[in-house]
Amino acid sequence: MSENKLARQEKSDDRFQALLSNANASRAISQAVEGTIGPKGLDIMMVDRFGDVVISNDGVTILKLIEVNHPAARMIINTARAQQSEVGDGTTTATIIAAALVSEGMEQVLKGVPVTRVIEGIEQGIAAALNLVKKQSRAVESLDDKVLFNIAEVAGRGKRDLARLVIKGAQLVGKKKLLDRDYKFADAVVARELAPSQVFR
């Protein structure tokens, strides 16, 4: 084998190893949270760096406890943090989708598809998904809209009493305040063990 061919082979092997490493790191982060997705998602028990046990089904809480050095793993965690910061929900979904894109992108590159074509394909997929969401979305005109109760019920893991309290709290706060990007409805919640759930001014 000529030196040039050998050098190309080594470069190709290094590239393959880097792609595989990125996909594996992304997959590991995704697997840490994927069981928690949805209203019937499972709780995960972890031990933090201080030795305390943490039980949660919240993707961003779990990801905060994971210490990573791998750049691809950090990218996936940063995706979840951006989702939490912008939307306040959907961190697990964002994590799973981001890891799947990395993994599928690697598969396509290994099949010989140029990286630029893979990126174009992802961008086309994102545009199609956004278009579909826009077509299926509808405006919520009032805080009395039944769809808000349904959303609160799903987010509350099927607890109708909590969903009612969330809607009542949202109505007290008002639509204008809720639409303020700097306002976080969750910050208005005070938690006390064994206390009854209630809404008050």
Check: CB of residue 70 under 8 Å from CB of residue 21.
yes
CA distance 17 to 7: 15
Instruction: Return the number of other C-beta atoms located less than 10 Å from residue 94's C-beta.
Output: 22
The pTM (predicted TM-score) of the whole model is: 0.75
Q: For the chain, what is the domain count?
A: 2
- Mark which of 106, 136, 166 sits at the end of a domain: 136
Structure confidence by residue, pLDDT tens digits, 42-99: 888 988 888 889 898 888 889 988 888 999 999 999 999 998 888 878 899 999 999 9
174 and 95 in a common domain: no
Structure confidence by residue, pLDDT tens digits, 90-132: 899 999 999 999 999 999 988 889 999 999 999 999 999 999 9
116 and 40 in a common domain: yes
Give the residue numbers spanning the domain of 191: 138-201
- Mark which of 113, 136, 159 sits at the end of a domain: 136
CA distance 148 to 107: 40
162 and 64 in a common domain: no
